[in-house]
Amino acid sequence: MFELFNTYSGQFLSGFGYTLLASLIVLIASFIIGIGMAIAQTSDNKLLSGFATAYIEVFRNIPLLIIVMFFYVVVPLSGIDISGFMSGVIGLSIYTSSFVADVVKSGISSIPAGQREAGLASGLSKNQVMFLIILPQALKLVLPPLGNQMINLVKNSSIFAMVAGLDLMYQGDLIVSETYNVFGTYIIVGIFYLIITVPISLMVKRLEERQSQTSR
């Protein structure tokens, strides 16, 4: 296995880099979209709220592979050139954002209505109350489940291999096709994924312990 890594270290590290890059882009995009959809879902505007609810329910219940393949296969038919990497980024961002939105919305709903009313009574606008009072508290409450979504998106990035997305899994498949060393190759790929997910998992566990201590 060590000889395999030494021989193909360039491909493994390249895949690891693309997986990290994809995870970072998806993390930022899905959190921005997800928080926006969560806020929209709690809006008094029925049209906006209905759109956000539909977005969350639709993309949360469609397999990730279908969303990614839509951008990889269907979108180019309209003349828009899109790479496998970008197809994966867009598809995974949309998919992950629907789960982020659901988590954040539950956090917003858990904030007592009295805080919103107090903010409005003090002269703040609805948007100011949301962004200055409600949302910061909601995000603090849902940090652990948001951390779990981070872990999920890293693992789900393996879908990039289906669209030649240059990620770890894609490079692993290429190496297997050359060496037929299935066991060693995927063990190394798995270790690289653990390098990303284990620190996040430990961080989430620490956040959960801290929240349980503060709630006592």
Task: Report how far residue 203's alpha carbon sits from residue 73's, in angstroms, rounded to the nearest whole number.
Answer: 37
What mean pLDDT is reported for the chain?
93
Give the per-residue pLDDT at 96: 97
Whole-number pLDDT of residue 63: 96
What confidence tens digit (pLDDT) does each residue in 12-65 have? 999 999 999 999 999 999 999 999 999 999 988 999 999 999 999 999 999 999
The residue with greater pLDDT, 187 or 215, is: 187
Mean pLDDT of 191-207: 92
pLDDT > 70 fraction of the chain, expressed in percent and rounded: 98
Q: Residue 216: its pLDDT value, please?
A: 56
pLDDT at 214 over 90: no
Is a pLDDT exceeding 60 seen at residue 5?
Answer: yes
Cβ atoms of residues 56 and 102 within 8 Å: yes
Alpha carbon distance 86, 29 (integer Å): 13
Q: Which domain holds residue 47?
A: 1-215
Q: ∠ CA(200), CA(201), CA(207), 5° rounding?
A: 90
Judged against a pLDDT cut of 70, whether residue 139 lies above it is answered with yes
Farthest-apart Cα atoms in the chain, separation: 69
| Domain total of the chain | 1
> Whole-prediction pTM value?
0.92
Q: How many other C-beta atoms are found inside a 10 Å radius of the C-beta of residue 12?
A: 21
CATH of the domain at 32: 1.10.3720.10
Higher pLDDT, 210 or 112: 112
Provide mean pLDDT across the span 72-80: 93
